[in-house]
Structure 1
Amino acid sequence: MDRRELAAFLRGRRERITPADVGLPAGSRRRTPGLRREEVAQLAFISTEYYTRLEQARAPHPSREVLAQIARALRLSDAERDHLHHLAGTPPGPPPGPSREVRQSIVDLLHRLPQAAAIVMSATYEVIAWNALAAALMEDFSALPRRDRNLVRRAFLEPWRGGTRLYSVSDADEFARTAAQHLRGAAARYPGDPELTALIDELLAGSAEFAALWAAHDVAARPTLCKTFDHPLVGLVTVNCDVLDITDRDQRVVIYTAAPGSPSEEALRLLSVVGTQRMTVPG
């Protein structure tokens, strides 16, 4: 345990977080940059005295549980969390669960792609960020509860609409198989995550198809490079599908683009104007 380096690291991380970042009032008499020690201790559910001793390089060895609580309170990234554990002389265990926090630079990237529909998916296929065109092409994710933003749940458990599956996309069956294989890998990376375990149990109980795919223990998946959406307003939209891995957060950016000059490009342009104002047609 490197007490001095641990103390300096904790002070540096604490001073960079504003009260507003964690939902605390700033107050008018605040003299320290960032959070106060007692505020970090409160957020981490540990005593102020013990946290103060950690920052003064006088505390005994913290447990793995205390380190996890401090990491959450200080909003550490995965790399910072691992560094905290190494400084404390406790090698980090597996990440507690898939990250749902999207870097601001990635969010900015999505919105700088006005002619492309783009989403960010977590390791469990939850859509955790999207741009306006993705909402128009697929669904207004902001109007959905969080559980309904999970595409693997939607693929296997949602009743098929008009005999089609998951936004009437051409590769829906292949997507479902790929998602099951990726979820098998995520389960191995996050064995202690209760939310992921509950999702898998729900899929096994509710879908015989998923249960059969899960029993196969396949983990390799072939990427889909092109797919066609059957949109209720603009009809068929064929797009190229490119996936960018965000390895440090176990996330993927999925970007849908149409061939220049194609009818699908025109359809995307129309959707960029219409947005999510009218996602169903009477019939």
Structure 2
Amino acid sequence: MGMRKCDGGTLLHDTESRLAEAYSRLSKHRSCWKHMLASLYSNGKKINKQQAAEFWRYNSIPQCFLGTFPSRKRSKRRKHECRIARVIKEKKRLDSREFDRYFQNLWRSFSEDKRTSFTYLDSLWFYWYMKASSKGKVLTWIKRKQIFLKKYVLVPIVCWGHWSLLIFCHLGESFESKARTPCMLLLDSLEMANPRRLEPDIRKFVLDIYRSEGRDENKKLIYKIPFLVPKVPQQSNGEDCGIYVLYFINLFVKEAPEDFSIKDYPYFMNQHWFSPQCMDNFFAELDLFGK
């Protein structure tokens, strides 16, 4: 703490410099008597005790408290939102454990009807499928999911440190169907990273799923399943991809049509689908879904 000697040799706290700093900050606000005083002080205008007393007498109730004296106790919900907001601001890229915790909270928030039409694969299954040593195990796990009985299958993918969302639509339907078109969607918040680089591996993945289920669809037809990459909202930095995938899941489950048809593609999935502020608000609520 700064100290200095006065004429009498007594040590005094250097409050003057601290006051100057505080007044300088306060001077940006001029909605109450405190800020009016601060403005005068920071602009080098002197004010005597009598003038200060007049300010106090006629302006005893400041209009602005700078949040120092709240009118009521801050709610627990508001405290939680502020904490999550700080997490959003400082957040590093979500790891698989964090992602799965948030996803489970989100999944439980959906209605029973939605959970009947949808299913999902673990966020690491595609990554493990890519390793020869665990490919067979992954295909066995997927078989238990009975994905060909579902309208939509959510497949979060983390690859090369980046999250994206693969969605299987109507894989159990006929390839000749026009109302329920079997197709694959890849939603990626970082288009500049070239999401289509995953297409060859995803097509092998799908072919192996069909084969592991003992289905007799022709290989050429399976490889012709439309692979679509809609132009969805893009992240502003390199750390938000996992959060974007969670929000893609949230909105797609809520807005997906009863029957997905290529004719109406891309539906709601476009670059103006949602705003960054909407996504931040969603993430602030995400922990609460599981409470």
Q: TM-score range by the shorter chain?
A: under 0.3
TM-score by length of 2: 0.25
Choose 1 or 2 for highest CA Rg. Answer: 2
